[in-house]
Amino acid sequence: MTDTILDKIKTYKLEEVAADKAAKPLEAVEAEAGAAPPVRAFAESLHKASISGYGLIAEIKKASPSKGLIRADFDPATLAQAYAEGGATCLSVLTDTPSFQGAKDYLVAARAACDLPVLRKDFMYDPYQVIEARGLGADCILIIMASVSDAQAAELEDAATQWGMDTLIEVHDAAELERAAMLKSRLVGINNRNLKTFETTLDTTRTLSKRVPEDRLIVSESGLATPKNLSDMAMYGARIFLIGEALMRHEDVALATRNLLADPVQPGGM
């Protein structure tokens, strides 16, 4: 059986984490986490924004395995400021280097440039990465259910909670959603992109949103580019969105962000 892109990422990521552990002991990472700036309210900020408008997690993403380079003119601090000016609620910063040309320093720079809460967007397998994320200033981490066991997911979530961070639990099908519902996190991300094939369809949110427990906040991810996409997803209960590429490709990122959020569908008015 041929390895998927996700399989390949997991292989090198585990090697990367092992190398990081060898280079910097856990005690040092914990010390950095303890000295990090206070946590910003990630999930609560999104919830408040979604009550009458949309909650936007705006992604700082230089490249992807499927699309290659997305933005050559790439400065995390400038992009963070543009997103904040455009009305984003939170940021997502890619810190994976081999597949996304991301870097840990990008998260540090983006968070320092604005007041928005920040998600460390990476492939998490080990509590070491969670503590490292806090040391970098992250306010939330990502758990991709397609890539971890139930025990791993719970361990990562517990580590995030211990350090005061929120967790975005990402799913792509009904089985993953059922597993995610066993966790405590409020944020359930429905990825419209299949990470094994990289095919994208908004039908994923349309289908899975009906199964999300009522006490969770639905985050629709991938394949979203227009106000119509957002209003369509809002009809299915998703008022929070994670969007990167569609905004990153615009010359004026602040204007693109503002235009995308300009006319939110009102709850009950759909």
111-126 confidence digits (pLDDT tens): 999 999 999 999 999 9
Task: Quickly list DSSP for the chain.
Answer: -PPPHHHHHHHHHHHHHHHHHHHS-HHHHHHHHHTSPPPP-HHHHHHHHHHHS-EEEEEE-SEETTTEES-SS--HHHHHHHHHHHT-SEEEEE---TTT---HHHHHHHHHTSS--EEEES---SHHHHHHHHHHT-SEEEEEGGGS-HHHHHHHHHHHHHTT-EEEEEESSHHHHHHHTTS--SEEEEESB-TTT--B-THHHHHHGGGS-TTSEEEEESS--SHHHHHHHHTTT--EEEE-HHHHTSSSHHHHHHHHHSSPPPTT--
Homologous superfamily (CATH) of 5-261 is: Aldolase class I (3.20.20.70)
135-173 confidence digits (pLDDT tens): 999 999 999 999 999 999 999 999 999 999 999 999 999
219-257 confidence digits (pLDDT tens): 999 999 999 999 999 999 999 999 999 999 999 999 999
pLDDT band at 22 (very low <50, low <70, confident <90, very high): very high
Instruction: Tell me the domain boundaries of the chain.
Output: 5-261
pLDDT at residue 270 greater than cutoff 60: no
